Structure 1
Amino acid sequence: MDETVELGVELLEHLEDEQLSLSDAIDRIETVTTDPHVTREILDTAELRGVIEREDGIVRPTGGAYVSFRSEVVQREGEFTCRRCGASISTGHFVQFDAGEHGPFGSSCIRKVTGRE
């Protein structure tokens, strides 16, 4: 579970959104875990570490550490299921975080998960 929390915190740290609703933040976290207790632990840990600020249902990432699509996203060919939307994909995009690899995602979902769209 500690690895899952670390991966979730690192995902929140790398969001490119200036702010997002708590619901949208949870949507991103659900690519790491669907366990509501772990989701809460991810949000609480991220807030305690200063990675995010939460107020009135709004989450504001504070880190400014963005995912570099050149060096931190790896593409692999194969038969995958996108962790965000559940679609079958032949090219999986995987984010390389310090806490571990996160993916696979389709080409549009990787942009959504990181806050590029």
Structure 2
Amino acid sequence: MEHLETDELPLSAVIDRIETVTTSPSLTREILDTAEKRGLIEREDGRIQVRRGGSFVRFDQQVVARDGEFTCQRCGAGLSTGHFIVFETGELGPFGSACIRKVVGRDD
């Protein structure tokens, strides 16, 4: 969550991004609660205000594409090219070309 590109999002958009790593409602709530306790976000009236502690994902530097047989982590579609977000702690993905843009906040 600290890598979101925008300063404010509707709760539904934040949940959509969280669902790239889990679809468990209890874990989603735990992620939001933890982010709020750590001071990364503020919640109010169905909107999430992001407090800048980290940096947003730089699409041209942190997203890599690899050819192969993959399944999109977001929508479940079969892929011949998978897009991965590279963080210091590891990679997140694969995602299709449309889903990666949604996950990093380029298309809402």
| Same fold (TM > 0.5) | yes
Which structure has more helix as a fraction of its residues?
Answer: 1
Structure 1 unmatched ranges of 5 or more: 1-11
The alignment's C-alpha RMSD in Å is: 1.4
Q: Return 37-46 or 63-72, whichever deviates more.
A: 63-72
Q: Displacement, 1:71?
A: 2.4
Alignment of structure 1 residues 1-117 onto 2, 5 Å: 12-63=1-52, 65-117=55-107
Q: What is the percentage of aligned positions where both structures have the same residue? A: 65
> What is the number of residues matched between the two proteins?
106
Q: Displacement, 1:78?
A: 0.7
Q: Displacement, 1:73?
A: 1.2
Which aligned segments of 4 or more residues in structure 1 are displaced greater than 2 angstroms? none
Aligned counterparts of 2:75 and 2:66: Cα–Cα separation in 1: 18
Q: Displacement, 1:38?
A: 1.1
Assess if the C-alpha contact under 8 Å between 1:83 and 1:104 holds in 2. Answer: yes
Structure 2 unmatched ranges of 5 or more: none
Assess if the C-alpha contact under 8 Å between 1:51 and 1:61 holds in 2. Answer: yes
Q: Displacement, 1:90?
A: 0.9
